[in-house]
Amino acid sequence: MNVHSMLPTVTPHEKPDKREAILDAALELFAERGFHGTAVPLVAERAKVGAGTIYRYFESKEALVNALYQREKQALGAAIVDAFPFDSPPRAQFHFFWDRISVYALAHPTELAFLELHHHAPYLDATSRAVEEAVLAPAFVFFQNAIEAQVVKPLDPMLLGALVWGAFTGLVRAAREGRLPLTPESLLRAEECCWEAIRR
């Protein structure tokens, strides 16, 4: 399964350097202040462009946040699924997932904070929701296969995924707030706890 072939893509017609600068500035602000707390002039100031320039690249703040969401969700999906060990046992596959999201979280804390803050937002459009579903699909297939192999508890795959992802993002949030050190050792112990929680 190749995540790149599953994800809808948006092909920009604008100059990529300026467009990416706007998206990078928006990422920081949306992660810090949320959608409603981020005004377009703030994005322009952070990106070092004129406020009117934003609207030459994105027709609205909603269009901007959706373009950013799609970019970051696709990057997360690629980081998790690329080189997935399809022929390995479920426990090894679970470790692969956990390791990949751990590496991503440590390397991209702002991006993960942005995705977590916006993934249930009502302003996400159909393309953003399709990207979300495509990124979740491999996890759904993993849990479904593990259930059929009687390796994990026979629960709804979405429930199992929510339990694991919720535990993981809780760890990341606690680390971001300075309440918990996120180390390879703590991540490994947390992975073991999550596996014990869902295994049959």
Residues 6+ apart with CB under 8 A from 90: 142, 145, 146, 149, 151, 152
68-104 pLDDT tens trace: 999 999 999 999 888 889 899 999 999 999 999 999 9
Residue 4 placed within a domain: no
Residue 106 and residue 52 share a domain:
no
Residue 166 and residue 125 share a domain:
yes
171-180 pLDDT tens trace: 998 988 899 8
Alpha carbons within 13 angstroms on the beta-carbon side of residue 63 total 11
Specify the 3-state DSSP secondary structure of 94. Answer: helix
> Which candidate, 112, 114, 109, 77, places its Cα nearest to that of 1?
77
Structure confidence at residue 11 (pLDDT): 43
Instruction: Calculate the average pLDDT of the chain.
Output: 90
20-32 average pLDDT score: 96
16-31 average pLDDT score: 93
Residue 78 and residue 51 share a domain:
no
47-62 pLDDT tens trace: 999 989 999 999 999 9
Q: Helix %, strand %, coil % for the chain, to 5? A: 70, 0, 25
Residue 87 and residue 178 share a domain:
yes
CATH of the domain at 21: 1.10.10.60
| Residue 22 lies in domain | 11-59
CA 74/CA 111 separation, integer angstroms: 11
Number of domains in the chain: 2
pLDDT at 167 over 70: yes
* CA dihedral (114, 115, 121, 126) positive or negative: positive
Structure confidence at residue 20 (pLDDT): 95
133-166 pLDDT tens trace: 999 898 999 999 999 999 999 999 999 999 999 9
Residue 132 and residue 91 share a domain:
yes
Rounded to two decimals, what is the model's pTM? 0.84
Residue 131 and residue 119 share a domain:
yes
Structure confidence at residue 6 (pLDDT): 44
Q: How far apart are the first and last CA of the chain?
A: 26
Residue 1 placed within a domain: no
> Which candidate, 32, 97, 31, 50, places its Cα nearest to that of 40?
50
Residue 180 placed within a domain: yes
